[in-house]
Chains A and B, each alone.
Chain A
Amino acid sequence: MAKLDAPRIVTSRMGFDDAHALPRYLATGGYTALRTALSMPPADVAAEVDAASLLGRGGAGFPAGRKWSMLRKSDLAYLVVNGDESEPATFKDRMLMERDPHQLVEGIVIAAWALQVTAAFLYVRGEFALGLERVQTAVNDAYAHGALGRDILGSGFSLDLVVHPGAGAYICGDETGLLESLEGKRGFPRIKPPYFPAVMGLYGEPTVVNNVETLSNLPWIVTNGGRAFAALGQGRSTGTRLFALAGRVRRPAVYELEMVHNTFRDLIYDPALGGGTTDDVAVKAFIPGGVSSPWFGPELLDVPLGQDEVAEHGSMLGSGSVVVFGPQDCPVRAAWRITKFFQRESCGQCTPCREGAGWLERILRRLEGGGGRHEDLDLLLDVCDNIAPGLGWPAQQTTICPLGPSIPSSIVSAIAMFKDEFLAHVDLGRCPNG
């Protein structure tokens, strides 16, 4: 049974058509958390986030409080907010930016106060024209309301927030790729070490990069306390999380769910959530956490929606996007299209990713079109092994950023789960799924 009694932490205003407008935001408790935060010493605000054990909601799941603690000793710093959501089938940050932008702005100001940062940049994916307009309107209105700019709400604290448009490049979702892009360059992820932008970030200065959903949690955490947040969920996975459900389901949408206490089955089948599969088809397989994550079969539908719980089964909760495949869906075609995505979005710096993605895409296209050979399966796995040696999970790194080693996930999963369908493509000379 789905557990749906948790508070709505980041989606409380989604029932209002005008939730993006300042009057509605103020009428529903908006900017009161900021007033509370500004009355607390910055370190106490950071302590609440620590107590919440808030894991970053971008995909990597790094504890936000620990990211912050790396910065607190520095003097000059930037806060950069990652709104470049582009992981396929992930559409939660877009919702937060379009439909509750003030909640995000309030979260940003709270984070800036805790970090004592006075300059922040919000990097919004270029394809989100409406999101850019809603966020810029919210920023304009927040300045006018005194919640941004000089002397915020009479506290003496000042913060300037610049909305920065991206221009279409998945790789800019990687935090160092994003920083390069924000500096006016190609979005090439940076060579590590240094591992963290807290050491060398924007313009070489200490920088914290946080995801849109991560920061949208802060007003609630400040109002209700970090402990209340940590009381939700279980283990390392505290609070609620947004899950973007897509594919063969009746009600594809973004759902906010308490972590761990719900399963993939709840998400897909509960009448208040996914409502079951389209035409009641059986679940053939599903992607548990964005196209970078290895697939799950129907035997894993009862895995809880928690970071460690999914990791135990060799995948990741990643960006919180779940895609359901039905019996009619061709795994070769799905793996091909996902690989084509990575091939198009590879920034081209590292050979395994740049070359490997192209080879894999061509082999999969050949297989899908019925022109493949039996040896192609071993060839695919061999190329994958060159990108992520051992083909285990988490993937071994051969490249500067995780994009390359994410490519094998769908291919290795598809072959492991549906080898007979790959071979049928070869033997029939066409797709057996029609």
Chain B
Amino acid sequence: MTRHLRQEFRQRAEELVALYPHARSATVPLCHLAQEQDGYLCEAAIEEIAALTGTTPAEVRGTASFYDLLHLEPVGRYVVGVCTNIACLLAGGLELLDHASRALGVPVGGTTADGTFTLEECECLGDCDAAPCVQVNSRFVRTTTPAALDALVAELRSGGSPEIPPFGTLSRVRRTVGLAVPAGQVAAERTRVRLETAASGGASG
């Protein structure tokens, strides 16, 4: 099978699989990783994730389609999410969503023709003390007014913001530990740690 994930991403994928006692647990993290490379989950990525996790493409697609952050179709470089749930509703979340739709020129769920923005209506994102809450690519941007949202959109249109990586990049902090041994041996290392601890666990009450 030809590989779809580029070398850097493939290596990180193998490291992720090795973190779990069962490879299938890496499914969602691998979906995030594929989105970091491609911006969405394409067929080739789904096939490779299935091979990496010992599942089928249908199982990967079945899992991925359950989750809001995983996209089986291309989305914009910036996914703008406006919350309209209860705390934001009271603060004008629906009105801000309407404004965003007009400002971007797309309906809710739509992507701008140039592929820069996708607009989504979100459920509570947990930033209720700065309502209505807006996220761009899972980053809280605290643009609670139409003017502030417009300014952010303009900034993103003209080159972007260092605070907001393109859609797909979730955590920019990599796990730097437990991987001193090559990927693939990590699982064995984990098992060894567990056995050693169990053997020395005489203090267990």
Contacts and interface: CB of A to CB of B under 8 A. Distances in A.
A118 B198 contact: yes
A132 B123 CA distance: 19
Interface in A38-93: 41-44, 46, 72, 75, 85-91
B69 interface: yes
A170 B26 CA distance: 20
Contacts of B29: 164-165
Contact of B204 (A42, A94, A128): A42
A90 B204 CA distance: 37
Interface stretch (A133-141, A259-267, A379-387, A394-402): A133-141
A182 interface: yes
Interface in A132-158: 132-133, 136-137, 139-140, 143-144, 148-150, 156-158
Contact of B123 (A86, A156, A326): A86
A334 B86 contact: yes
A273 interface: no
Given A132-B170, A165-B170, A247-B87, A143 B177 contact: yes
A118 B85 contact: no
Contact of B200 (A132, A156, A341): A156
Interface stretch (A184-192, A310-318, A416-424): A184-192
B135 interface: yes
Given A42-B203, A119-B194, A88 B123 contact: yes
A252 B177 contact: no
Contacts of A184: 22, 24-28, 53, 55, 63
B44 interface: no
Contacts of A409: none
A168 B170 contact: no
Interface string A108-129: 0000000010110000011111
Interface in B170-205: 170-178, 190, 193-194, 196-198, 200-201, 203-205
A126 B138 contact: yes
Contacts of A26: none
Interface residues of A, number: 79
B205 A41 contact: yes
B87 A160 contact: no
A341 B124 contact: yes
A388 interface: no
B66 A187 contact: yes
Nearest to A140: B176
A246 B89 contact: no
B27 A91 contact: no
B114 interface: no
A245 B62 CA distance: 37
Contacts of A90: 124, 126
Given A89-B85, A246-B131, A167 B69 contact: yes
B90 A247 contact: yes
Contact of B25 (A44, A91, A182): A182
B172 to A, nearest CB: 6
Interface string B47-72: 00000010100000011101111100
B104 to A, nearest CB: 20
A208 interface: no
A195 interface: no
A253 interface: yes
A329 B203 contact: no
Contacts of A252: 87, 128-129, 131
Given A85-B126, A118-B194, A165-B32, A183 B178 contact: no
A129 B168 CA distance: 11
A13 interface: no
B125 A127 contact: yes
A44 B203 CA distance: 11
A182 B29 CA distance: 10
Contact of A41 (B126, B170, B203): B203
A345 B123 contact: yes
A171 to B, nearest CB: 9
B139 interface: yes
A247 B84 CA distance: 13
A131 to B, nearest CB: 9
A169 B68 contact: yes
A162 B171 contact: no
B14 interface: no
A143 B126 CA distance: 29
A165 B171 contact: yes
Contacts of A345: 123
Given A87-B124, A156-B200, 6 more contacts: A85-B126, A89-B86, A127-B69, A127-B125, A133-B172, A133-B173
Shortest 4 CB-CB contacts between residues of A and residues of B: A43-B205, A168-B68, A184-B27, A167-B67
5 contacts: A89-B87, A94-B127, A127-B69, A167-B68, A186-B62
